[in-house]
Structure 1
């Protein structure tokens, strides 16, 4: 299903929850609506489903206006974060529910349910009840029930929120594979950026009722279009006056320019680990956090605190140690624009590892 949304608005009393939102989604794509709580993600999802009335705007499925259609006539499957399974029904009956409402012949219902039981890895659990299943299994039942009527669009409202971390990680991969096999257009809401990056074909970053940016996970991470996107995706530190950093002095002519610096933009080493370069700052290690495959290093450079990574293959730094710090690039922004800038001094001469 191809989806087109134009100038969507929604108020709850005096609160403007969704502000003139427009976007398109290609058939078969898996889209993540990512953003902080209260940003408008779920409101958008519920308006697409017909569970919430819109104040103004248009929603079109395959070019046809669906604003006035009730949920059951939109060809949508909906998965809620709390599963919303019928406690008194078995796995089989939960999955069959929508098919029975449509009065499908019993033989076809059985064939469709068993097909989905196989597809979702629930074979052998058909006669069990929700209280006899794990959280991950209950969520698989919810997916199967949503897919049973063969919807053209699958909507998921924070589908992994009620599941523990280990199972959540497994279900992300499972969901990605499932949707690719089924080939259904899907939209899921999340505030977990790792979840969105891992699962989605494209991400829409939603903040304060507006779409800040839409693109592939890589594009959004590599080329954020707004300061909010840059600060929300990935770990970062904001420097209020970018001109205070070596190699970025020229931005001083752009009044009020701030620098957002990601950990991978920074290199840190022992005091004499770099051949002297005009771009190298001196700092002190404040904290070290073991991350399994690397160290997360918090370093103080003058009045600024930066975070970066250091490989386990390199000699371990010590808390309080004086270190050399090289900021390779920064995401700069002021009231007028935003852009990524390389350190102007780092190649004069090129800093090299000893």
Structure 2
């Protein structure tokens, strides 16, 4: 299903929940609605589902306006954060519920349920009740129930929020593969940026009721279009007066701020750099073991920055003097926002070994 939203607006009393939101989604895409709590993500999802009515604006499925259609007539499947399974029904009957409401033939219901049981890895659990299942299994039942009536659009409201971290990671991969196999247009709400980046084809960043940016995970992460997106996605350090940093003198002016991600920075001994002229002097303040790497906090010109360091390299200690190379920074001010490269790092200067 191709989805298009035009000038969507919604109030709840005096609270302006959704503000002139516009977007389109191609058929078969898996889209993540990402943003802070209270930003408007679930309100948008519920309006798409027909569970809330917009104050103004249009929702179009395949070019047809559906604002007045009931949830049952929109051809959608909805997966709730709390699973919302019927406790008195078996797995089989939970999955079959939507088909029974549509009064589908019994043989058709049985075939469809068994197809989804196989697809969702629930074979052998058909006669169990929800209380006899793990959280991950209950969520799979919820997915299967939503898919049973052959919806054209699948909506998921924080589908992994109630599941522990290890199972959540497994279900992310499973969901990605499931959506690719079924080929259904899907939209899921999350406040977990790692989840959105890992699972979604495209991400829509929602903040204070507005759509800040829509793009692929790579575009959202590497080419943020607003300061909010730059600060919300990924780890970063905010730096004042970016023009004082070596290699960025011409990129900003007094008052220009910069967001610098850990992966934009290298910190180490002098002999680790081929071009010392592009580096700053720094001092290690703290190091944190992250399992696969070190998170290193380093002070440069009175500014505290963070970077990653491989476990294969010499371990640095607090107080150690180091050289720091800032490869790039996200600069923003009143007039513009952009990613800028360190102009010195590629200068053809003598190589220092």
Question: Which interval holds the TM-score relative to the shorter structure?
Answer: over 0.9
Residues 353 and 17 (structure 1), Cα distance of their counterparts in 2 relative to 1, 3 Å cut? farther
TM-score scaled by length of structure 1:
0.97
Structure 2 residue aligned with 1:201: 201
Residues 116 and 350 (structure 1), Cα distance of their counterparts in 2 relative to 1, 3 Å cut? farther
Contact 1:75 1:152 in 2 (8 A): yes
Q: Name the CA distance, whole Å, in 2 between partners of 1:269 and 1:350.
A: 20
TM-score scaled by length of structure 2:
0.97
Q: Name the CA distance, whole Å, in 2 between partners of 1:53 and 1:22.
A: 16
Counterpart mapping for 1:94-243 below 5 A? 94-243=94-243
Instruction: Could you tell me which runs of 5 or more consecutive residues in structure 1 were left unpaired when the two chains were aligned.
Output: none
Q: How many pairs were matched up?
A: 353
Tell me, what secondary structure is at the counterpart of 1:219? Answer: helix
- Deviation of the 1:65 alpha carbon: 0.5
Moved over 6 A (4+): none
Structure 2 residue aligned with 1:29: 29
Structure 2 residue aligned with 1:338: 337
Q: Name the CA distance, whole Å, in 1 between partners of 2:352 and 2:338.
A: 29
Contact 2:275 2:345 in 1 (8 A): no
- Deviation of the 1:241 alpha carbon: 1.2
Contact 1:274 1:351 in 2 (8 A): no
Tell me, what secondary structure is at the counterpart of 2:31? Answer: strand
Instruction: Could you tell me which runs of 5 or more consecutive residues in structure 2 were left unpaired when the two chains were aligned.
Output: none
Contact 1:10 1:55 in 2 (8 A): yes
Instruction: Indicate the larger mover: 243-252 or 329-338.
Output: 243-252
- Deviation of the 1:97 alpha carbon: 0.7
Contact 1:272 1:324 in 2 (8 A): no
Structure 1 residue aligned with 2:318: 319
Residues 39 and 291 (structure 1), Cα distance of their counterparts in 2 relative to 1, 3 Å cut? same
Residues 319 and 124 (structure 1), Cα distance of their counterparts in 2 relative to 1, 3 Å cut? same
Contact 2:282 2:299 in 1 (8 A): yes
Q: Deviations over 1:249-284 (max 9, x none)?
A: 2245x3421111011111110255435633211111
Contact 1:288 1:296 in 2 (8 A): yes
